[in-house]
Amino acid sequence: MSEKIFKVSGEEFRKQYKEAYESGRASLADKMPAEFFARTAISDEVAVLLFRYMSFLDEADKTTCRYLQEVKKLIENGKFQHLKECEGLNPQVIDMIDTLYEKRLRECCDELLCIAMTMYRIFNMQERPLQRPEYKRRTEMAWRAVNKARKDKLIELSERKKSLKESPADNIPLAVKVKEHFDSSGMRGQEEAKKIVAMSVHKFVISEGKDRNPILLEGPTGSGKTFMFQLLEEMPELKDLCFFNYCASDMTPNGFSGDDISNVFSKYERMARQKMKKGENGLQMPLGIIFLDEMDKIIGMSNTDSNGEDCNAIVTAQLLTAIAGTQNYGSVDTSKILFIMAGAFEELENSRKKKREEHGIGFAVNASTKEKENSMTGYDLREELEEIGVSKQFLGRVPYIVHMDRLSRAQLRQILVDKEHGVFGKKQKWFKRNGKTLTYDEDLVEEILDRMEEHDMGARGAAAMLETLIGTAEYDMFANGYKNLHLHKGMFFRAEPVFDEQKGKSRDK
């Protein structure tokens, strides 16, 4: 509400309204919101109601302004638990205030709060008994709205818990569904990472955000870190969650040009608001999963500015409070967000390579060392990350630190040729939907595998390579009516693709 309204006494309200009424300018009340509610979030319609009702108050009700002023101040300061200190408020009103604001959700609540409080005062006034039935009716309408919101919230919570828990018709826990979705969607290897992420998401959702364990995924480019997040996002069971993918290397300290942490959560908030649902406390923010990629660019290296300040250390410190769930940004409650962070941490690979060289040269030694690296525990990783400069404070806030292996050639092959989820498989399905076919030579697959290994590529890199290889051939197929496109190794060296010339003679109709 505007501060001006609380500087106007009940007597002044009554005087202004009386003058307007007696002069036949009762519509003056419609103009009051602009003056008295200039900086409020409530609608003009509600502002008019408030003005009209407060204008009827007798001299004793000048204290109403004081009550509202105290409530306003406490609401703005977030001290909702102290609202009971506002002397003179009815217990029912107190109960409603606690219900509406206990979780600090203000959306769509202010109007109802103001109307109900004002109507309660008017309902108890001694004057104008003829208007009392109308005041009572309006007050009851306000309370019905409150009770309906409470009931809807309880029903929503009950249905949500029922859908998440095991039932005779669906005896599969959410964690198992997540893991099976990873496996069935073409994600190869990474068993430890898949199980830990699946269980963390399960606990987070079942507990409605109370059980949240941030995760740090460490592994080379192409090992499936981002792919894992994308698979979570497409699960129907998680459709009510807000998913947000952000590159941590773009973050800057507060006051610097670029995205500081407040801007990042503002972007998240805009996405989350699209999934807000009406509940007992008005509209409420959904649970969320934020994926922070390239974390190694801020927690594993320093970035000193012209003043000698380490910008990355500042960003890390600001991020820690969000990861811990102790800092809110606007209406975003970070304690309701599961953070999944990822990074390649190339310094770790260099450190491991150096250790392998120190242990000796030879296939047996190197094979043994690599096997040990692929069976690393979270404790081993913590020690390694600390050695390359990651702070103990950050590591202490992340319960799960998981190593993701470099994919083997056999796993990379599956990423390429799997009929259902492979890069070639997906492309072939697209061709089939358009009445075309796509074929390829085995030596082309081997060439792509060589390049994937050389450049640490995963599914995304392989898909991009295939699109580049095909180039304008898709257009040529449609333009010339060809039915089949055949890909071969020579296309990497500027040779033309092979079309089914014979079928191409008859144009598509």
Tokens 């009445």, residue located = 435
Residues 376 and 455 in one domain: no
Flag whether 163 is in a domain.
no
Distance CA 119, CA 49 (A): 10
CATH of the domain at 451: 1.10.8.60
Q: Give pTM, 2 decimals.
A: 0.61
Distance CA 13, CA 55 (A): 5
Residues 389 and 297 in one domain: yes
Flag whether 445 is in a domain.
yes
Token digits of residue 384: 């390694």
Residues 293 and 244 in one domain: yes
Total structural domains in the chain? Answer: 3
pLDDT, tens digit, 9 for 90 and up, residues 451-474: 988 888 877 788 889 999 998 899
Flag whether 167 is in a domain.
no
DSSP 288-343: EEEEEE-THHHHSS--B-TTS-BHHHHHHHHHHHHHHT--EETTEEGGGEEEEEEE
Range of the domain at 219: 174-403
Residues 395 and 433 in one domain: no
Residues 108 and 232 in one domain: no
Flag whether 509 is in a domain.
no
Residues 305 and 186 in one domain: yes
Residues 398 and 415 in one domain: no
Instruction: Supply the pLDDT for residue 427.
Output: 92
Residues 205 and 341 in one domain: yes
Instruction: Supply the pLDDT for residue 448.
Output: 93
Instruction: Supply the pLDDT for residue 304.
Output: 63
Instruction: Supply the pLDDT for residue 331.
Output: 82
Last residue in a domain, options 379, 403, 427: 403
Flag whether 124 is in a domain.
yes
Distance CA 306, CA 97 (A): 50
pLDDT, tens digit, 9 for 90 and up, residues 426-442: 899 999 999 999 999 99
CATH of the domain at 363: 3.40.50.300
Last residue in a domain, options 123, 153, 183: 153
Residues 350 and 478 in one domain: no
What residues form DSSP beta bridges with 487? 440
Flag whether 16 is in a domain.
yes
Residues 205 and 268 in one domain: yes
Flag whether 361 is in a domain.
yes
Last residue in a domain, options 383, 403, 423: 403
Instruction: Supply the pLDDT for residue 16.
Output: 56
- Cα separations in angstroms, 481 against 248, 374, 435, 456, 476: 46, 50, 10, 37, 8
Consecutive sets of 10 residues in the chain, 509 residues long: mean pLDDT of each? 38 52 45 37 40 40 49 49 45 46 38 46 47 58 58 69 52 87 87 94 91 92 89 92 92 73 89 75 81 88 66 84 85 91 86 71 48 55 87 89 89 87 90 93 94 83 88 89 93 90 42
Distance CA 40, CA 2 (A): 6
Residues 147 and 257 in one domain: no
Distance CA 497, CA 487 (A): 6
Token digits of residue 54: 């407060």
Instruction: Supply the pLDDT for residue 191.
Output: 92
Residues 290 and 181 in one domain: yes
Flag whether 22 is in a domain.
yes
Instruction: Supply the pLDDT for residue 398.
Output: 92
